């Protein structure tokens, strides 16, 4: 077995103070994995749609085509959103960093340091796809980032503190064969060839059957001439027979720990380490494979205890072998490193998340982080509401200015609003049967705006500021235009029920983006890389909170806000109730220290 050529690798230090080397996944394998995942997600989406249509066909909804269509479109929109944003996060977090595509290509996402990926880290790296996929679905930005970064990281990996590594379990190391008294001639006390020479000889002997007779004889003669000094005691015969004999001798000598004649000191010890411990390493490889397939629990209590003890022994072997190899590479070092790395990932894998932990995370951790990050959230609010108020005043005084900030469709809606107000209709006239579709579209759109505000933080917060300001300008222009036309009450009655939760959630998401920007621009006494990763861990909690609030605001906007027969006063009361509940929710964060620390998303 020859040592693989590892040109791109990263080294991490385990809690046992042992250095592990990971192969960095190449761009090609990651692209193939992404295409496989995209195909699976598309097939899952169409399969769910077909299943949903066939299921609804057998219900009472089938007799009410309009109602069935409304609910079908709503569910399809939510499924599409869930697949786009949830597929990678759920697979990576629940399957220990491997989506089906990554599993096929033998890739795994891990956190810096070799630890298993968490929900928070997975969400962070995948939400950043909004920028990695620019300027198109080919992902030019992300691909360029992977090519320029020595660890193959795209923007999402940089912010999340993750990397994609290649996993490969090699065949067992050949150990010394069992010999009887009638066995073949004794093996030499020392090996004659250097490791590089033996690699050349080993590759030839492995592939000689695939060569034609003339080329095989030619190569054998060249090797016999090159290794003439080692063939002094070879039996008489053809060059090929001598080369094969030498290969057998050298391989057996190495298997039983014989050092190369020219080796000295630590180099001689390396052969002894391998020969003595190879059988134990191979046995552990089988145990590791079982644990990776079925989980550590499948080994039983005693089995897990033995697994941990063996892992510690292997870490000591790895440290000794690294010293003996003197910074070089060898097949044995690569093999042992893979075993220790695989066991390390398994032992330090994040434990399964329980429902109670998710509840604690949403009920306590999120509001606590919102309170902690109040400064950046207030800054985001200033960036949103300042242009909103300025534009509202400007357009109210000069309605023609609305054309600068609003698209033609919104201008036409304002004209329709005058007629709707005269007929005592609402801001939007959507039949109740289509409100599920409206609610789902509003929810998914608003959550994606929140995701964009967060992901834009990687531009040092510049794009986050632009997202907040541009949204403030358009909302303010609408308010000003409706006021100028004397129908401000119409839009106020629509916005009031959901506005408190929705606008606050946008500010929270904007604060998350600004928090990442602060890590880039104002790292303090931390390194910039560490500041970005640590701030991103806090920011993803804010994004989760924003998505949670928007999941409440979306249905309100779809079902409650459009009700035309609710007077403005009643909707303002509803708004006041949501504001009070939001205040109580944020106060709830002060109790987090009295509860067990939740592990969602998770931190180091």
Taken in order 274, 280, 286, 290, is the CA torsion positive or negative?
Answer: negative
Q: What is the pLDDT at residue 596? A: 43
* Strands 9-13, 19-24: pairing kind: antiparallel
Q: What is the pLDDT at residue 364? A: 92
User: What is the widest separation between alpha-carbon atoms in the chain?
Assistant: 111
403 in Cβ contact with 411 (< 8 Å): yes
Q: What is the pLDDT at residue 185? A: 42
Separation CA 391–CA 406 (nearest Å)? 11
The answer for 148, left when phi > 0, alpha when psi is -120 to 50, beta otherwise, is alpha
The reported pTM is 0.72
Which residues, at least 6 apart from 348, have a Cβ–Cβ distance to it below 8 Å? 15, 114, 115, 116
Separation CA 497–CA 568 (nearest Å)? 10
361 in Cβ contact with 595 (< 8 Å): no
Query: Taking Cα atoms as reference points, which of 601, 496, 593 lies closest to residue 547?
Result: 601
Q: What is the pLDDT at residue 68? A: 62
Q: What is the pLDDT at residue 599? A: 42
93 in Cβ contact with 84 (< 8 Å): no
**Regions in the chain scoring below 70 on pLDDT:** 1-9, 12-18, 56-70, 114, 134-140, 142-143, 168-191, 195, 253-271, 326-331, 349-353, 426-435, 589-604
Q: What is the pLDDT at residue 57? A: 64
104: helix, coil or strand?
A: helix
For the segment 273-288, what is each residue's pLDDT rounded down to a tens digit?
A: 777 788 888 888 888 8
Query: Taking Cα atoms as reference points, which of 81, 89, 279, 327 lies closest to residue 172?
Result: 279
Query: Taking Cα atoms as reference points, which of 449, 585, 470, 583 lies closest to residue 513?
Result: 449
Query: Taking Cα atoms as reference points, which of 57, 58, 53 lies closest to residue 76?
Result: 53
Burial 311-324 (b: 16+ CB within 10 A, else e): beebbebbebbbeb
Q: What is the pLDDT at residue 391? A: 96
Separation CA 306–CA 301 (nearest Å)? 9
CA dist list (Å): 183 to 155, 231, 243, 283: 60, 21, 20, 26
Give the pair of three-digit tokens for residue 258.
């014989």
């Amino acid at each position: 077995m020859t040592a693989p050529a590892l040109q791109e690798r990263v080294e991490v230090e385990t809690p046992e103070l042992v250095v592990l080397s990971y192969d960095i996944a190449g761009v090609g394998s990651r692209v193939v994995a992404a295409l496989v995942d995209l195909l699976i997600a598309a097939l899952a989406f169409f399969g769910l749609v077909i299943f949903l249509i066939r299921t609804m066909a057998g219900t009472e909804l089938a007799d009410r085509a309009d109602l069935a269509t409304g609910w079908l479109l709503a569910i399809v929109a939510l499924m599409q959103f869930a697949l786009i944003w949830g597929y990678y996060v759920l697979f990576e977090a629940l399957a220990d960093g491997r989506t089906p595509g990554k599993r096929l290509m033998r890739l795994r996402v891990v956190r810096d340091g070799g630890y298993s990926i968490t929900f928070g880290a997975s969400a962070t790296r995948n939400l950043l796809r909004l920028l990695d996929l620019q300027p198109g679905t080919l992902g030019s930005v992300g691909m360029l980032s992977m090519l320029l970064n020595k660890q193959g990281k795209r923007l999402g990996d940089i912010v999340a503190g993750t990397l994609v590594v290649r996993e490969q379990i090699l065949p067992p190391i050949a150990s010394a064969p069992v010999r009887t008294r009638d066995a073949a001639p004794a093996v030499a006390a020392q090996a004659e060839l250097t490791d590089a020479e033996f690699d050349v000889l080993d590759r030839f002997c492995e592939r000689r059957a695939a060569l034609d007779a003339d080329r095989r004889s030619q190569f054998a003669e060249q090797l016999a001439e090159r290794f003439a000094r080692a063939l002094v005691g070879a039996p008489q015969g053809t060059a090929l027979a001598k080369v094969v004999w030498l290969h057998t001798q050298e391989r057996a000598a190495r298997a039983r720990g014989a050092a190369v004649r020219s080796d000295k000191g630590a180099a001689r010890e390396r052969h002894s380490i391998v020969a003595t411990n190879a059988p134990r390493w191979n046995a552990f490889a089988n145990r590791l494979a079982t644990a990776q397939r079925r989980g550590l629990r499948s080994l039983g209590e005693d089995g897990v205890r033995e697994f941990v003890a063996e892992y510690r022994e292997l870490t000591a072997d790895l440290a000794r072998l690294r010293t003996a190899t003197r910074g070089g590479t060898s097949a044995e070092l690569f093999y042992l490193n893979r075993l220790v790395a695989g066991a390390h990932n398994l032992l330090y894998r994040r434990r399964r998340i329980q429902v109670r932990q998710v509840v604690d995370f949403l009920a306590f951790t999120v509001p606590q982080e919102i309170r902690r990050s109040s400064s950046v959230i207030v800054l985001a609010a200033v960036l949103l509401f300042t242009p909103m108020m300025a534009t509202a005043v400007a357009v109210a005084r000069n309605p023609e200015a609305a054309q600068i900030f609003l698209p033609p469709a919104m201008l036409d809606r304002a004209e329709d609003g005058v007629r709707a107000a005269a007929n005592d209709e609402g801001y939007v006239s959507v039949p109740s049967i289509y409100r599920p579709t409206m609610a789902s579209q509003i929810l998914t759109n608003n959550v994606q705006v929140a995701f964009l505000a967060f992901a834009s933080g990687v531009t040092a917060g510049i794009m986050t500021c632009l997202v907040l300001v541009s949204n403030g300008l358009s909302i303010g222009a609408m308010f000003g235009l409706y006021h100028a036309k004397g129908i401000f009450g119409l839009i106020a009655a629509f916005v009031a029920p959901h506005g408190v939760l929705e606008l606050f959630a946008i500010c929270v998401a904007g604060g998350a983006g600004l928090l990442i920007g602060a890590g880039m621009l104002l790292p303090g006494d931390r390194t910039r890389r560490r500041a970005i990763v640590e701030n991103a861990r806090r920011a993803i909690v804010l994004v989760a909170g924003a998505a949670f609030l928007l999941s409440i605001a979306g249905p309100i906007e779809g079902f409650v806000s459009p009700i035309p027969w609710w007077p403005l006063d009643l909707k303002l009361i509803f708004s006041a109730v949501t504001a009070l509940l939001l205040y109580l929710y944020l106060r709830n964060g002060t109790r987090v220290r009295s509860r067990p620390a939740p592990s969602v998303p998770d931190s180091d």
